[in-house]
Structure 1
Amino acid sequence: MYYFLCMLALADTGLALCTLPSMLGIFWFNYKSIAFDACLVQMYFIHTFSAIESGVLVAMAFDRVVAIWSPLRYSVILTNGVVCKTGLVIFSRAVCVVFPVPFLIKRLPFYHSNILSHSFCLHQDVMHLACASTHVNSLYGLIAVIFTKGSDSLSILLSYVFILRTVMAIASREGRLKALNTCVSHICAVLIFYVPLIGVSVIHRFGKHLSPLTHVLMANAYLLVPPVLNPIVYTVKTKEIRRKIIQIFVQTKITAED
């Protein structure tokens, strides 16, 4: 579980590092331009880290399935080697799926308005500025989303169906509540990631009449809310992390008093 938490933290950090510098440059220093190649690089890393985070959430769902379905064999099933291989598969999938995206954008001509509707570069945002057919880009973008976030969300849903069936088979009410309580943090992380994602997708598809500020706020929420809230959720719900943080603060206070 803690290895997957580390992967989630790295994905959140990567997302924040991809977006915050350009956002701060716009809001603090009024720096409102970005080179085309730099935009492609930012786009690649944003979508890559987003796909990695989605994959990590699936791995964490599988972790909860094993912990509830067969707790006595947890350490046998989820060995360090299995966790490392899972992380490598998640990383490789994200890198390979997103790799063609910048090249599909680079082949398009851009002659007229080059004003983005967000404070960072997203594939669908840059694609709409092109002066040629973007059918291939749209098709590949749809396939990539279905292959990553679509399949991941379905896998998470099926995992919780299996978890609920397993929990309902537990005889005692206390046992059922204890088992479900171990999933609360992960459910919160899934909602924190997928709810803004769904909101951004709906606005891009059906919200053409909405103000540009709404588009900007939703896109910022999609990329910045998970890195902000995930550490809080897992700190509150995980006793070992909470105890370690309290221990650090207590040691710091004692050192300062000495």
Structure 2
Amino acid sequence: MRFFLDVSYNGAAYHGWQRQANAHTVQEEIENGLSKILGAETAITGSGRTDTGVHAKMQMVHFDTEKEMEPAQIQYKLNSILPDDISVNNCRPVQPEAHARFDARERGYHYFINPNKNPFLVGKSYYFNHQLDVDLMNEAAEKLLGRQDFESFSRVKTEVNNFICEIFTARWYWENDQLIFNVRANRFLRGMVRALVGTLLEVGRGKLTVEEFVSIIAAKDRTKAGRAVPPHGLYLSEVNYSDEIYI
């Protein structure tokens, strides 16, 4: 039977999501935990990768098992052995062909910036104390909406067939003294959100105009965009599917 897990994690201690031969990863921890409680080696597939230091409030994964066990029991037992920086929020049975990555209709990220030095936000939010024109940043962010080629914001060495993404939401807002960027799309390229944020910060500081930002999108050249911001301010926050995949 196939199940979906809704997982959260603090990525500070991990070399990203994906299992690697000589690195500690989130996928490795969850697979080891599942294999232990299910009594058989169990592989998982995530909705996407997160890089070293990136967090997730909602990462979706699927796995298969022949062992009969209630979803709530899987969730409880897995949480009891996972480290404190990883939690399983939900476990649900799904259709046999449901796929955590390919069936995802929409993904969302939030990037957190704190303009004031705060020791309690270390590793959780990017400390950036420059004066910013948030209205101008939102004007530029609106230019991201729709279906476009985002090669300018993708890592150079990445295995993809194309750089086309459809962005549904891209906006900046203040909440609890933090500046937050929310972006939702059908897919994201490697390093895309951090590059978008870094370039939009250049707009906010007056180093780029909105028109220049638009020309960067059109250039399809990573060297034209701004630097990527640090990973610790980034959170995978939502992954949405059709209700039809759930049993």
TM range (shorter): under 0.3
Richer in strand (by share): 2
Richer in helix (by share): 1
- TM-score for both structures, normalised by structure 2: 0.26
| Rg comparison, structure with higher value | 1
